[in-house]
Amino acid sequence: MAKTKTTFFCQNCGAQSPKWVGKCPACGEWNTYVEEVIHKDDNPRGNWKQEPTKLKRATTPKKLHEVNFEAQPRLITDDNELNRVLGGGIVPGSLILIGGEPGIGKSTLMLQIALTLTQQKILYVSGEESESQIKMRADRMPFKSENCFVLSETNTQQIFQQVEALKPELLVIDSIQTLYSSHVESAAGSVSQVRECTGELMKFAKETGTPVFLVGHITKDGSIAGPKVLEHMVDTVLQFEGDRHMSYRILRTSKNRFGSTHELGIYEMRAEGLREISNPSEILISQREEQLNGVAIGAMLEGNRPLLIEIQSLVSPATYGTPQRSSTGHDSKRLNMLLAVLEKRGGMRLGQQDVFLNVAGGLKVDDPALDLAVCASLISSYEDNPISHEICFAGEVGLGGEIRAVNRMESRISEAAKLGFKKIVVSKYAIKGVDLSKFDIKVVAVSKLEEMYQEIV
Protein backbone atom coordinates (compact mmCIF):
# COMPACT_ATOMS: atom_id res chain seq x y z
CA MET A 1 0.00 0.00 0.00
CA ALA A 2 1.41 3.35 -1.04
CA LYS A 3 2.23 5.79 1.69
CA THR A 4 -0.17 8.69 2.02
CA LYS A 5 1.53 11.91 0.95
CA THR A 6 0.54 15.29 2.29
CA THR A 7 1.58 18.85 1.60
CA PHE A 8 0.56 22.31 2.74
CA PHE A 9 -1.33 24.89 0.65
CA CYS A 10 -1.96 28.58 1.27
CA GLN A 11 -5.72 29.20 1.28
CA ASN A 12 -5.22 32.77 0.07
CA CYS A 13 -2.90 32.46 -2.93
CA GLY A 14 -2.57 28.69 -3.46
CA ALA A 15 1.19 28.51 -2.78
CA GLN A 16 2.58 25.08 -1.83
CA SER A 17 5.01 24.19 0.95
CA PRO A 18 6.31 20.82 2.19
CA LYS A 19 5.85 21.95 5.80
CA TRP A 20 3.63 24.35 7.73
CA VAL A 21 4.75 27.95 7.85
CA GLY A 22 3.17 30.80 9.80
CA LYS A 23 3.57 33.52 7.16
CA CYS A 24 3.10 32.74 3.48
CA PRO A 25 6.26 33.76 1.57
CA ALA A 26 4.22 34.37 -1.59
CA CYS A 27 1.38 36.65 -0.42
CA GLY A 28 2.50 37.60 3.11
CA GLU A 29 -0.69 36.42 4.85
CA TRP A 30 -0.49 34.77 8.30
CA ASN A 31 -1.93 31.38 9.36
CA THR A 32 -3.30 30.49 5.92
CA TYR A 33 -1.50 27.17 5.36
CA VAL A 34 -3.55 23.97 5.69
CA GLU A 35 -2.48 20.36 5.26
CA GLU A 36 -4.04 18.38 2.41
CA VAL A 37 -3.64 14.85 1.08
CA ILE A 38 -2.28 14.68 -2.47
CA HIS A 39 -2.29 11.74 -4.83
CA LYS A 40 -0.59 11.30 -8.18
CA ASP A 41 -2.00 8.71 -10.55
CA ASP A 42 -1.44 7.75 -14.16
CA ASN A 43 -4.38 9.79 -15.44
CA PRO A 44 -3.20 13.20 -16.66
CA ARG A 45 -4.28 15.99 -14.33
CA GLY A 46 -6.56 18.72 -15.62
CA ASN A 47 -7.87 16.54 -18.46
CA TRP A 48 -11.67 16.61 -18.63
CA LYS A 49 -11.73 13.73 -21.13
CA GLN A 50 -11.06 10.34 -19.58
CA GLU A 51 -8.82 8.99 -22.31
CA PRO A 52 -5.57 7.05 -22.14
CA THR A 53 -2.40 9.08 -22.38
CA LYS A 54 -1.28 9.66 -25.97
CA LEU A 55 1.92 11.10 -27.39
CA LYS A 56 1.36 14.61 -28.72
CA ARG A 57 3.57 16.70 -30.97
CA ALA A 58 5.12 19.63 -29.15
CA THR A 59 3.67 23.00 -30.06
CA THR A 60 5.87 25.54 -31.82
CA PRO A 61 5.66 29.33 -31.88
CA LYS A 62 3.74 30.98 -34.70
CA LYS A 63 3.80 34.48 -36.07
CA LEU A 64 0.82 36.47 -34.91
CA HIS A 65 -0.52 37.12 -38.41
CA GLU A 66 -0.36 33.37 -39.18
CA VAL A 67 -2.74 32.43 -36.35
CA ASN A 68 -6.11 31.24 -37.69
CA PHE A 69 -8.94 33.22 -36.17
CA GLU A 70 -12.64 33.26 -36.94
CA ALA A 71 -14.76 35.86 -35.16
CA GLN A 72 -17.54 34.16 -33.24
CA PRO A 73 -20.68 36.11 -32.38
CA ARG A 74 -21.53 36.61 -28.74
CA LEU A 75 -24.53 34.86 -27.24
CA ILE A 76 -27.06 37.63 -26.58
CA THR A 77 -29.38 36.84 -23.68
CA ASP A 78 -32.78 38.33 -22.91
CA ASP A 79 -31.23 39.95 -19.83
CA ASN A 80 -29.99 43.37 -20.98
CA GLU A 81 -28.35 44.04 -17.62
CA LEU A 82 -26.23 40.88 -17.90
CA ASN A 83 -25.34 41.68 -21.52
CA ARG A 84 -24.11 45.12 -20.46
CA VAL A 85 -22.03 43.78 -17.58
CA LEU A 86 -20.41 41.10 -19.77
CA GLY A 87 -19.53 43.67 -22.45
CA GLY A 88 -22.24 42.85 -24.99
CA GLY A 89 -23.13 39.20 -24.39
CA ILE A 90 -21.61 35.83 -23.51
CA VAL A 91 -18.36 35.06 -25.34
CA PRO A 92 -18.10 31.45 -26.63
CA GLY A 93 -15.60 29.43 -24.62
CA SER A 94 -15.47 31.92 -21.75
CA LEU A 95 -15.26 30.95 -18.07
CA ILE A 96 -17.36 33.30 -15.92
CA LEU A 97 -17.26 33.34 -12.11
CA ILE A 98 -20.09 34.97 -10.15
CA GLY A 99 -19.75 35.47 -6.40
CA GLY A 100 -21.95 36.88 -3.67
CA GLU A 101 -23.22 36.43 -0.15
CA PRO A 102 -25.49 33.49 0.76
CA GLY A 103 -29.12 34.18 -0.13
CA ILE A 104 -28.32 37.17 -2.35
CA GLY A 105 -29.77 35.46 -5.46
CA LYS A 106 -26.85 33.90 -7.37
CA SER A 107 -28.64 30.61 -8.04
CA THR A 108 -31.84 32.44 -8.94
CA LEU A 109 -29.98 34.57 -11.50
CA MET A 110 -28.28 31.54 -13.06
CA LEU A 111 -31.50 29.52 -13.26
CA GLN A 112 -33.31 32.50 -14.74
CA ILE A 113 -30.65 32.83 -17.46
CA ALA A 114 -30.91 29.10 -18.19
CA LEU A 115 -34.70 29.33 -18.57
CA THR A 116 -34.70 32.45 -20.77
CA LEU A 117 -32.26 31.00 -23.34
CA THR A 118 -34.92 28.86 -24.98
CA GLN A 119 -33.06 28.35 -28.28
CA GLN A 120 -29.91 26.91 -26.67
CA LYS A 121 -29.38 23.64 -24.84
CA ILE A 122 -28.46 24.47 -21.23
CA LEU A 123 -27.12 22.12 -18.54
CA TYR A 124 -27.57 23.39 -14.97
CA VAL A 125 -25.40 21.38 -12.55
CA SER A 126 -26.05 21.86 -8.85
CA GLY A 127 -24.02 20.41 -6.04
CA GLU A 128 -26.06 22.12 -3.34
CA GLU A 129 -29.66 21.39 -4.32
CA SER A 130 -31.52 18.33 -5.48
CA GLU A 131 -33.31 18.26 -8.81
CA SER A 132 -36.70 18.58 -7.09
CA GLN A 133 -35.53 21.70 -5.24
CA ILE A 134 -34.42 23.27 -8.52
CA LYS A 135 -37.82 22.38 -10.02
CA MET A 136 -39.61 24.11 -7.11
CA ARG A 137 -37.61 27.28 -7.68
CA ALA A 138 -38.18 27.17 -11.44
CA ASP A 139 -41.96 26.81 -10.98
CA ARG A 140 -42.05 30.21 -9.25
CA MET A 141 -40.57 31.89 -12.32
CA PRO A 142 -42.67 32.93 -15.33
CA PHE A 143 -40.07 31.52 -17.75
CA LYS A 144 -40.40 28.09 -19.37
CA SER A 145 -37.85 26.26 -21.49
CA GLU A 146 -37.75 22.83 -23.10
CA ASN A 147 -33.97 22.93 -23.49
CA CYS A 148 -32.98 23.40 -19.84
CA PHE A 149 -31.53 20.23 -18.28
CA VAL A 150 -30.70 19.87 -14.58
CA LEU A 151 -28.19 17.57 -12.90
CA SER A 152 -27.44 17.10 -9.21
CA GLU A 153 -23.83 15.89 -9.09
CA THR A 154 -20.52 16.87 -7.49
CA ASN A 155 -18.00 14.52 -9.17
CA THR A 156 -16.41 16.25 -12.15
CA GLN A 157 -15.78 12.98 -13.98
CA GLN A 158 -19.48 12.10 -13.78
CA ILE A 159 -20.43 15.62 -14.89
CA PHE A 160 -18.19 15.44 -17.95
CA GLN A 161 -19.68 12.07 -18.92
CA GLN A 162 -23.13 13.67 -18.99
CA VAL A 163 -21.74 16.68 -20.85
CA GLU A 164 -20.28 14.40 -23.52
CA ALA A 165 -23.65 12.75 -24.01
CA LEU A 166 -25.79 15.90 -23.90
CA LYS A 167 -23.40 18.38 -25.60
CA PRO A 168 -24.91 21.54 -24.06
CA GLU A 169 -24.32 25.01 -25.51
CA LEU A 170 -24.03 26.55 -22.02
CA LEU A 171 -22.92 24.97 -18.73
CA VAL A 172 -23.78 26.32 -15.27
CA ILE A 173 -21.97 25.01 -12.17
CA ASP A 174 -23.53 25.82 -8.78
CA SER A 175 -21.18 25.94 -6.99
CA ILE A 176 -17.47 25.39 -7.68
CA GLN A 177 -16.73 24.82 -3.96
CA THR A 178 -18.96 21.71 -3.91
CA LEU A 179 -17.22 19.91 -6.79
CA TYR A 180 -14.45 17.38 -6.35
CA SER A 181 -12.19 15.52 -8.72
CA SER A 182 -11.10 11.93 -8.16
CA HIS A 183 -7.60 12.94 -9.29
CA VAL A 184 -7.07 14.78 -5.99
CA GLU A 185 -7.45 13.07 -2.62
CA SER A 186 -8.72 15.98 -0.55
CA ALA A 187 -12.08 17.27 0.61
CA ALA A 188 -14.36 19.28 -1.66
CA GLY A 189 -13.81 23.01 -1.28
CA SER A 190 -10.11 22.68 -0.43
CA VAL A 191 -7.49 24.71 -2.27
CA SER A 192 -6.28 21.81 -4.41
CA GLN A 193 -9.81 20.64 -5.28
CA VAL A 194 -11.03 24.10 -6.30
CA ARG A 195 -7.94 24.63 -8.42
CA GLU A 196 -8.16 21.20 -10.05
CA CYS A 197 -11.90 21.42 -10.81
CA THR A 198 -11.57 24.93 -12.21
CA GLY A 199 -8.66 23.80 -14.37
CA GLU A 200 -10.71 20.94 -15.82
CA LEU A 201 -13.67 23.23 -16.54
CA MET A 202 -11.39 25.83 -18.12
CA LYS A 203 -9.84 23.21 -20.40
CA PHE A 204 -13.31 22.00 -21.37
CA ALA A 205 -14.53 25.54 -22.14
CA LYS A 206 -11.51 26.42 -24.30
CA GLU A 207 -11.44 23.14 -26.23
CA THR A 208 -15.17 22.97 -26.99
CA GLY A 209 -16.05 26.67 -27.16
CA THR A 210 -18.80 26.18 -24.57
CA PRO A 211 -19.29 29.08 -22.14
CA VAL A 212 -19.25 28.02 -18.48
CA PHE A 213 -20.75 29.90 -15.52
CA LEU A 214 -19.28 29.15 -12.08
CA VAL A 215 -21.07 30.18 -8.89
CA GLY A 216 -18.58 30.86 -6.10
CA HIS A 217 -18.92 31.42 -2.36
CA ILE A 218 -17.35 34.45 -0.70
CA THR A 219 -15.51 34.88 2.57
CA LYS A 220 -16.56 37.14 5.45
CA ASP A 221 -14.50 40.02 4.02
CA GLY A 222 -16.34 39.82 0.68
CA SER A 223 -13.67 38.15 -1.49
CA ILE A 224 -14.15 34.94 -3.49
CA ALA A 225 -13.58 31.89 -1.27
CA GLY A 226 -10.68 29.64 -2.21
CA PRO A 227 -7.26 30.43 -3.63
CA LYS A 228 -6.66 33.75 -5.36
CA VAL A 229 -5.52 31.79 -8.41
CA LEU A 230 -9.21 30.97 -9.02
CA GLU A 231 -9.88 34.58 -10.04
CA HIS A 232 -6.78 34.60 -12.26
CA MET A 233 -7.87 31.45 -14.14
CA VAL A 234 -11.35 32.63 -15.14
CA ASP A 235 -12.09 35.19 -17.88
CA THR A 236 -14.70 37.23 -16.03
CA VAL A 237 -15.44 37.82 -12.35
CA LEU A 238 -18.87 39.19 -11.42
CA GLN A 239 -19.87 40.32 -7.93
CA PHE A 240 -23.56 40.08 -6.98
CA GLU A 241 -24.09 42.65 -4.22
CA GLY A 242 -26.91 44.08 -2.16
CA ASP A 243 -28.55 43.91 1.23
CA ARG A 244 -30.53 40.72 1.78
CA HIS A 245 -33.15 42.79 3.58
CA MET A 246 -33.55 45.13 0.59
CA SER A 247 -35.14 44.21 -2.73
CA TYR A 248 -32.47 45.67 -5.02
CA ARG A 249 -29.40 43.79 -6.25
CA ILE A 250 -26.30 45.08 -8.04
CA LEU A 251 -24.26 43.00 -10.50
CA ARG A 252 -20.75 44.46 -10.74
CA THR A 253 -17.74 43.45 -12.86
CA SER A 254 -14.36 43.21 -11.15
CA LYS A 255 -12.54 41.46 -14.02
CA ASN A 256 -13.46 41.09 -17.70
CA ARG A 257 -11.13 40.03 -20.50
CA PHE A 258 -13.79 40.85 -23.09
CA GLY A 259 -15.13 44.21 -21.92
CA SER A 260 -15.09 47.03 -19.41
CA THR A 261 -14.63 46.41 -15.69
CA HIS A 262 -16.74 49.41 -14.67
CA GLU A 263 -20.17 48.27 -15.81
CA LEU A 264 -23.13 47.88 -13.48
CA GLY A 265 -26.40 45.93 -13.66
CA ILE A 266 -29.30 46.55 -11.27
CA TYR A 267 -32.10 44.10 -10.45
CA GLU A 268 -35.08 43.95 -8.16
CA MET A 269 -35.68 40.71 -6.28
CA ARG A 270 -39.28 39.54 -6.43
CA ALA A 271 -41.12 36.36 -5.52
CA GLU A 272 -41.09 35.26 -9.18
CA GLY A 273 -37.41 36.04 -9.73
CA LEU A 274 -35.19 38.98 -10.63
CA ARG A 275 -36.55 41.92 -12.58
CA GLU A 276 -34.26 44.19 -14.59
CA ILE A 277 -34.15 47.87 -13.64
CA SER A 278 -33.73 49.67 -16.96
CA ASN A 279 -33.79 53.17 -15.41
CA PRO A 280 -32.06 52.91 -12.01
CA SER A 281 -32.02 56.70 -11.46
CA GLU A 282 -35.74 56.59 -10.68
CA ILE A 283 -35.27 54.14 -7.80
CA LEU A 284 -32.15 55.87 -6.44
CA ILE A 285 -33.98 59.18 -6.05
CA SER A 286 -36.62 59.06 -3.32
CA GLN A 287 -40.04 60.49 -4.06
CA ARG A 288 -40.84 62.93 -1.24
CA GLU A 289 -43.84 65.22 -0.81
CA GLU A 290 -41.93 68.05 0.92
CA GLN A 291 -38.47 69.51 0.51
CA LEU A 292 -35.91 68.48 3.13
CA ASN A 293 -32.62 70.12 3.97
CA GLY A 294 -29.40 68.16 3.50
CA VAL A 295 -30.56 66.42 0.29
CA ALA A 296 -28.85 66.97 -3.07
CA ILE A 297 -28.90 65.06 -6.36
CA GLY A 298 -25.59 64.22 -8.07
CA ALA A 299 -24.94 62.98 -11.61
CA MET A 300 -22.39 60.14 -11.67
CA LEU A 301 -21.16 57.49 -14.08
CA GLU A 302 -20.88 53.73 -13.56
CA GLY A 303 -19.02 52.47 -16.60
CA ASN A 304 -20.91 53.82 -19.59
CA ARG A 305 -24.15 54.29 -17.66
CA PRO A 306 -25.06 57.72 -16.22
CA LEU A 307 -26.88 57.60 -12.88
CA LEU A 308 -28.51 60.29 -10.79
CA ILE A 309 -28.30 59.44 -7.10
CA GLU A 310 -29.40 61.12 -3.91
CA ILE A 311 -26.84 62.40 -1.40
CA GLN A 312 -28.17 62.85 2.14
CA SER A 313 -26.27 64.62 4.92
CA LEU A 314 -26.92 65.66 8.49
CA VAL A 315 -24.87 68.38 10.21
CA SER A 316 -25.64 68.99 13.89
CA PRO A 317 -23.73 70.31 16.93
CA ALA A 318 -21.52 67.72 18.61
CA THR A 319 -23.18 66.52 21.82
CA TYR A 320 -20.44 64.30 23.24
CA GLY A 321 -17.44 66.58 22.83
CA THR A 322 -15.57 64.89 19.99
CA PRO A 323 -17.32 65.48 16.60
CA GLN A 324 -18.30 62.39 14.65
CA ARG A 325 -17.57 61.90 10.95
CA SER A 326 -19.55 59.04 9.42
CA SER A 327 -20.21 58.19 5.76
CA THR A 328 -22.17 55.31 4.23
CA GLY A 329 -21.47 54.49 0.59
CA HIS A 330 -18.92 57.31 0.24
CA ASP A 331 -15.17 57.51 0.91
CA SER A 332 -14.72 58.87 4.43
CA LYS A 333 -11.30 60.38 3.60
CA ARG A 334 -12.78 62.33 0.70
CA LEU A 335 -15.57 63.53 2.99
CA ASN A 336 -12.99 64.86 5.46
CA MET A 337 -11.22 66.65 2.61
CA LEU A 338 -14.44 68.32 1.45
CA LEU A 339 -15.25 69.38 5.03
CA ALA A 340 -11.81 71.00 5.30
CA VAL A 341 -12.36 72.84 1.98
CA LEU A 342 -15.77 74.11 3.15
CA GLU A 343 -14.28 75.34 6.41
CA LYS A 344 -11.22 76.97 4.84
CA ARG A 345 -12.69 78.35 1.62
CA GLY A 346 -16.35 78.67 2.55
CA GLY A 347 -16.08 79.98 6.09
CA MET A 348 -18.27 77.25 7.59
CA ARG A 349 -17.56 76.34 11.23
CA LEU A 350 -17.66 72.57 11.05
CA GLY A 351 -15.03 71.81 13.71
CA GLN A 352 -17.64 71.27 16.44
CA GLN A 353 -20.31 69.67 14.23
CA ASP A 354 -21.28 66.02 13.82
CA VAL A 355 -21.43 65.14 10.14
CA PHE A 356 -23.26 62.11 8.76
CA LEU A 357 -23.33 61.36 5.01
CA ASN A 358 -25.40 58.70 3.25
CA VAL A 359 -25.72 57.60 -0.37
CA ALA A 360 -29.36 56.60 -0.90
CA GLY A 361 -30.10 53.19 -2.40
CA GLY A 362 -27.20 51.32 -0.79
CA LEU A 363 -24.70 52.17 -3.55
CA LYS A 364 -20.96 52.53 -2.97
CA VAL A 365 -19.70 55.40 -5.09
CA ASP A 366 -16.24 56.72 -5.97
CA ASP A 367 -16.96 59.17 -8.80
CA PRO A 368 -15.31 62.54 -8.03
CA ALA A 369 -18.15 64.24 -9.92
CA LEU A 370 -20.26 63.81 -6.77
CA ASP A 371 -18.10 66.28 -4.82
CA LEU A 372 -20.32 69.19 -5.81
CA ALA A 373 -23.48 67.36 -4.71
CA VAL A 374 -21.85 66.40 -1.38
CA CYS A 375 -20.83 70.02 -0.72
CA ALA A 376 -24.31 71.28 -1.64
CA SER A 377 -25.88 68.71 0.68
CA LEU A 378 -23.58 69.70 3.56
CA ILE A 379 -24.26 73.42 3.03
CA SER A 380 -28.01 72.77 2.90
CA SER A 381 -27.97 70.88 6.20
CA TYR A 382 -25.62 73.39 7.89
CA GLU A 383 -27.72 76.39 6.79
CA ASP A 384 -30.99 74.50 7.37
CA ASN A 385 -32.04 75.56 3.87
CA PRO A 386 -33.61 72.96 1.51
CA ILE A 387 -32.36 72.65 -2.07
CA SER A 388 -34.93 72.68 -4.86
CA HIS A 389 -35.75 69.18 -6.09
CA GLU A 390 -35.36 70.45 -9.68
CA ILE A 391 -31.57 71.06 -9.33
CA CYS A 392 -28.78 68.49 -9.69
CA PHE A 393 -24.97 68.77 -9.55
CA ALA A 394 -21.93 67.36 -11.38
CA GLY A 395 -18.40 68.55 -10.66
CA GLU A 396 -15.19 67.81 -8.78
CA VAL A 397 -14.09 70.12 -5.95
CA GLY A 398 -10.40 70.96 -5.63
CA LEU A 399 -8.49 71.93 -2.49
CA GLY A 400 -8.62 75.57 -3.50
CA GLY A 401 -12.40 75.54 -3.66
CA GLU A 402 -12.37 75.48 -7.46
CA ILE A 403 -14.86 73.38 -9.44
CA ARG A 404 -12.98 71.06 -11.76
CA ALA A 405 -14.25 69.46 -14.96
CA VAL A 406 -15.37 65.82 -15.14
CA ASN A 407 -15.62 63.54 -18.17
CA ARG A 408 -18.65 62.67 -20.31
CA MET A 409 -20.62 65.74 -19.31
CA GLU A 410 -23.08 65.35 -22.21
CA SER A 411 -24.25 61.98 -20.84
CA ARG A 412 -24.81 63.45 -17.38
CA ILE A 413 -26.75 66.46 -18.71
CA SER A 414 -28.87 64.23 -20.97
CA GLU A 415 -29.77 61.90 -18.08
CA ALA A 416 -30.77 64.85 -15.89
CA ALA A 417 -32.95 66.31 -18.65
CA LYS A 418 -34.59 62.92 -19.24
CA LEU A 419 -35.60 62.68 -15.57
CA GLY A 420 -37.24 66.10 -15.61
CA PHE A 421 -34.66 68.28 -13.83
CA LYS A 422 -34.84 71.96 -14.71
CA LYS A 423 -31.27 72.98 -13.77
CA ILE A 424 -27.87 71.30 -13.50
CA VAL A 425 -24.82 72.95 -11.90
CA VAL A 426 -21.53 71.98 -13.56
CA SER A 427 -17.97 73.26 -13.93
CA LYS A 428 -17.57 75.93 -16.58
CA TYR A 429 -14.47 74.10 -17.82
CA ALA A 430 -16.53 70.98 -18.62
CA ILE A 431 -18.89 72.50 -21.18
CA LYS A 432 -16.33 73.79 -23.65
CA GLY A 433 -17.37 72.51 -27.07
CA VAL A 434 -20.68 71.11 -25.78
CA ASP A 435 -23.80 72.15 -27.70
CA LEU A 436 -26.15 73.10 -24.85
CA SER A 437 -29.01 74.07 -27.16
CA LYS A 438 -29.97 70.43 -27.74
CA PHE A 439 -30.72 69.85 -24.03
CA ASP A 440 -34.04 70.82 -22.50
CA ILE A 441 -32.43 71.86 -19.22
CA LYS A 442 -30.70 74.99 -17.91
CA VAL A 443 -26.96 74.44 -17.50
CA VAL A 444 -25.35 76.65 -14.84
CA ALA A 445 -21.56 76.90 -15.20
CA VAL A 446 -19.59 77.75 -12.05
CA SER A 447 -15.89 77.91 -11.25
CA LYS A 448 -15.86 78.29 -7.43
CA LEU A 449 -17.82 77.07 -4.44
CA GLU A 450 -19.04 80.63 -3.80
CA GLU A 451 -20.84 80.64 -7.15
CA MET A 452 -22.48 77.29 -6.40
CA TYR A 453 -23.57 78.65 -3.00
CA GLN A 454 -25.44 81.50 -4.72
CA GLU A 455 -27.44 78.96 -6.75
CA ILE A 456 -28.77 76.99 -3.79
CA VAL A 457 -29.55 79.68 -1.19
pLDDT of residue 449: 92
pLDDT of residue 448: 93
> pLDDT tier at 50 (50, 70, 90 boundaries)?
low
* 102 belongs to an annotated ligand binding site: yes
SS3 220: coil
pLDDT of residue 131: 92
**pLDDT 10s digits, 399-449:** 999 999 999 899 899 989 988 899 999 999 988 888 888 888 999 999 999
Q: What is the pTM of this model?
A: 0.73
* 222 belongs to an annotated ligand binding site: no
* 101 belongs to an annotated ligand binding site: yes
* 362 belongs to an annotated ligand binding site: no
> pLDDT tier at 130 (50, 70, 90 boundaries)?
very high
List of domains in the chain: 5-38 (no CATH), 75-278 (3.40.50.300), 283-456 (3.30.230.10)
* 106 belongs to an annotated ligand binding site: yes
**pLDDT 10s digits, 301-327:** 887 788 899 999 999 998 877 889 999
Amino acid letter, 317: P
DSSP state of 13: T
**pLDDT 10s digits, 201-246:** 999 999 999 999 999 888 766 677 666 778 888 999 999 887 666 7
Q: Report whether the peptide linkage leading into residue 175 is cis, meaning its omega lies within 30 degrees of zero.
A: yes
pLDDT of residue 263: 81
* 107 belongs to an annotated ligand binding site: yes
pLDDT of residue 33: 87
For every residue of 401-428, DSSP letters joined together read: SBEE--S-HHHHHHHHHHTT-SEEEEET
Residue 54 has pLDDT above 60, yes or no: no
Residue 397 has pLDDT above 80, yes or no: yes
Residue 269 near residue 107, CB atoms below 8 Å: no
